Amino acid sequence: MTARSTNHVVLPIPFKPHRLDGLSARLLESHYENNYGGAVRRLNAIEARLAALDPATAPGFELNGLKREQSIAAGSMILHEAYFDALGEQGSGSGGDPGGDAARDALAAAIEASFGALARWRAEFGAMGKALAGGSGWVVLAWSARSQRLVNHWAADHAHGLPGGQPVLALDMYEHAYHMDFGARAADYVDTFMRNIAWQRPAARLHAARAVPASPAPHAAADAGREVGVAALRSALDDATAAPLVLDVRLPDDRQRSGQRLPGTDWRDPQQVEAWAAALPRDREVVVYCMYGFWVSQDAASALRKAGVKARSLQGGIASWRAMGWPTQPIAPC
Ligand SMILES: [Fe+2]
pLDDT at 216: 63
User: How far, in Å, CA of 274 to CA of 292, rounded?
Assistant: 22
> Ligand 1 centroid to 80 CA: how many Å?
6
Taking only the tens place, the pLDDT of each residue in 224-275 is: 789 999 999 999 999 888 899 999 999 999 999 999 999 999 999 999 999 9
- Comparing CA positions, the residue from 232, 304, 233 lying closest to residue 269 is 304
CB 81 within 8 A of CB 36: yes
Rounded distance between C-alpha atoms, residue 158 and residue 136, angstroms: 10
CA 224 to ligand 1 center in whole angstroms: 47
Give residue 14's pLDDT.
94
CB under 8 A, 24+ apart: contacts of 67-72: 68/159, 69/42, 70/43, 70/46, 71/158, 71/159, 72/157, 72/158, 72/159
Task: Indicate the average pLDDT of the chain.
Answer: 93
Ligand 1 centroid – CA 32 distance (Å): 8
Average pLDDT value for residue range 34-61: 96
Identify the CATH homologous superfamily for domain 17-210: Iron/manganese superoxide dismutase, C-terminal domain (3.55.40.20)
Mean pLDDT to the nearest integer, 286-290: 98
Residues carrying CATH 3.40.250.10, the chain: 221-330
Distance (angstroms) between ligand 1 centre and the Cα of 247 equals: 57
176 Cα: distance to centroid of ligand 1 (angstroms) = 6
Residue 149 Cα, ligand 1 centroid: separation in angstroms?
A: 26
325 vs 272: CA distance, rounded Å: 31
Would you state the pLDDT for residue 224? 73
3-state helix, strand, coil in the chain (%, to 5): 45, 15, 40
- pLDDT, tens only, 151-182: 999 999 999 989 999 999 999 999 999 999 99
C-alpha 152 – ligand 1 centre gap (Å): 18
What is the reported pLDDT for 1?
42
CA distance 100 to 108: 10
Write down the pTM of the prediction. 0.85
Distance 47 CA to ligand 1 centre (A): 21
Dist. CA 160 → ligand 1 center (Å): 14
CATH 3.55.40.20 residue ranges for the chain: 17-210
C-alpha 115 to ligand 1 mean position (Å)? 27
**Secondary structure (DSSP) of 116-180:** SSHHHHHHHHHHHHHHTTTS--EEEEEEETTTTEEEEEEESSTT---TTEEEEEEEE-SGGGTHH
pLDDT average, residue stretch 293-303? 96
**192-238 pLDDT, tens digit each:** 999 999 999 999 999 999 988 776 654 555 677 899 999 999 999 99
Distance 200 CA to ligand 1 centre (A): 21
According to DSSP, the residues that pair with 166 across neighbouring strands are 143
Q: How many angstroms does the Cα of residue 184 sit away from the middle of ligand 1? A: 16
CA torsion through residues 23, 27, 33, 37, sign:
negative
Tens-place pLDDT, residues 139-153: 999 999 989 999 999
CA of 31 to the centre of ligand 1 (A): 6
Distance in Å, CA 313 to ligand 1 centroid: 51
DSSP conformation class of 17: G
3-state class (DSSP) for residue 12:
coil
Second CATH level (architecture) for the domain 221-330: 3-Layer(aba) Sandwich (3.40)
Distance (angstroms) between ligand 1 centre and the Cα of 95 equals 21
Q: Which pLDDT score is estimated for 93?
A: 54
